């Protein structure tokens, strides 16, 4: 397997994750909210520490948030002194796709799928629990088929608060009680168990369609809270998107070696 050094940057809807890979291994991760522009430079500096003094290192960025991406890109170019490459624009994500011709799929979903299949080499479902919660199916040949999208936990709670006059503003966390004995706990219970139930139901339908149960991997900012004790989910991988960026670079380098 080809070795590489990489600063991987994943710009999400709400947060950006930056990870340093030294000789192909993830060594440092830093996260910041996209609305905290004062944190961007320090987060990049923190994450890139393992690459200080390394002459040959790549910088590769993915994004599902164009506005935030431009701000991050400008600071990357200023502080890294290296050319910044873009996922899909410069390096294609190495995952097959069976989608409608007009479909536009977020880079984050494709990167998660590429990383999961590269690790498992078998049919799998990737659940990304972020601003939205996505449930995507990858078949045994490594083809991404798309999946389901529902509001994420905080988005659910925010919508209830904004559209129902008497429902309070609630920050998402694991509910303390199975049965909510007050309004806030009832909202948390609904979001927590509702999303877990949605995932289970959708994956069961994928299994019927595929004729076998796929392995389920969860990632995203709310994945630990939602799924760390859920036997239905095989593993939680917080940095799956960053690993997908690394897989994208590695596959490109391996292809270059073969054609040389």
Question: Is beta strand 235-236 parallel, antiparallel or unpaired with respect to 124-129?
Answer: unpaired
pLDDT the model gives residue 11: 94
The residue from 51, 86, 121 where one domain ends is 86
Give me the sign of the Cα torsion angle 186, 187, 192, 194.
positive
Residue 1: pLDDT band with limits 50, 70, 90: confident
End of a domain among 52, 86, 120? Answer: 86
pLDDT of residue 238: 92
Can you tell me the distance from the alpha carbon of 177 to that of 92, in angstroms, rounded to the nearest whole number? 45
Which of the listed residues 54, 86, 118 is the one where a domain comes to its end?
86
Does 123 share its domain with 223?
yes
Say which of 35, 90, 100, 108 is annotated catalytic: 108
pLDDT tens digits along 132-166 = 999 999 999 999 999 999 999 999 999 999 999 99
Residue 91 in domain: no
Q: How far apart are alpha carbons 260 and 30 in whole angstroms?
A: 35
What pLDDT, on a 0 to 100 scale, did the predictor assign at position 215? 97
Please say if the pLDDT value at position 55 is more than 90.
Answer: no
Q: What is the pLDDT of residue 93?
A: 97
pLDDT > 90? residue 243: yes
Question: Are 81 and 38 found together in one domain?
Answer: yes
Residues 6+ apart with CB under 8 A from 163: none
Q: Assess whether pLDDT exceeds 80 at residue 218.
A: yes
pLDDT value of position 105:
94
Select the more confidently predicted residue: 187 or 80. Answer: 187
Residue 231: partners with Cβ closer than 8 Å, 6 or more residues away: none
C-beta pairs of 74-83 under 8 Å, 24+ apart in sequence: 75/40, 75/41, 75/44, 76/7, 76/9, 76/44, 79/41, 79/44, 79/45, 80/7, 80/44, 80/48, 82/7, 82/57, 82/58, 83/59
Spacing of C-alpha 205 from chain mean position: 23
Give residue 223's pLDDT.
97
pLDDT, residue 257, reads 74
Please report whether residue 253 resides in a domain: no
Which carries the bigger pLDDT value, residue 256 or residue 86?
86
Sequence-distant (≥ 6) Cβ neighbours of residue 236 within 8 angstroms: 217, 218, 219, 223, 224, 227, 228
90 is catalytic: no
Q: State the Rg of the chain over Cα.
A: 19
Clarify whether residues 117 and 234 are in a common domain. Answer: yes
Same-domain check for residues 163 and 192? yes
H-run or E-run covering 12? none
Q: With pLDDT > 70 as the criterion, what percentage of the chain qualifies?
A: 99
Give the Cβ contact number of residue 187 at 10 Å. 22
Within-domain flag for 137: yes
Domain presence at residue 22: yes
**Residue 250 covered by a domain:** no
CATH number at 59 reads 3.30.420.40
Per-residue model confidence (pLDDT) at position 78: 81
Structural domain span for residue 197: 97-242
């Amino acid at each position: 397997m080809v070795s590489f050094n990489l600063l991987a940057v994943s710009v999400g809807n709400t947060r950006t994750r930056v990870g340093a890979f030294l000789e192909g291994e993830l060594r440092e991760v830093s996260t910041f909210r996209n609305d905290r522009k004062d944190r961007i430079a320090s987060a990049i500096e923190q994450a890139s520490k393992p690459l200080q003094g390394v002459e040959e290192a790549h910088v590769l960025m993915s994004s599902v948030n164009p506005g935030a991406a431009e701000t991050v890109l400008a600071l990357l170019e200023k502080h890294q002194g290296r050319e910044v490459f873009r996922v899909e624009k410069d390096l294609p994500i190495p995952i097959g796709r069976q989608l409608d011709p007009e479909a536009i799929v977020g880079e984050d979903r494709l990167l998660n799928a590429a990383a999961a299949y590269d690790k498992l080499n078998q049919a799998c479902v990737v659940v990304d629990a972020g601003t939205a919660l996505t449930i995507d199916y990858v078949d045994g040949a490594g083809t991404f088929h798309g999946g389901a999208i529902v509001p994420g936990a905080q988005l659910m709670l925010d919508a209830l608060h904004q559209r129902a006059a008497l429902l309070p503003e609630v920050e998402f966390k694991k509910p303390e009680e199975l049965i909510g004995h007050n309004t806030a706990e009832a909202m948390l219970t609904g979001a927590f168990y509702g999303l877990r139930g949605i995932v289970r139901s959708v994956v069961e339908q994928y299994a019927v369609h595929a004729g076998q149960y796929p392995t389920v991997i969860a990632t995203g900012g709310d994945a630990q809270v939602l799924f760390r004790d859920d036997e239905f989910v095989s593993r939680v991988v917080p940095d799956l998107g960053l690993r997908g960026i690394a897989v994208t670079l590695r596959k490109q380098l391996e292809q270059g070696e073969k054609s040389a």
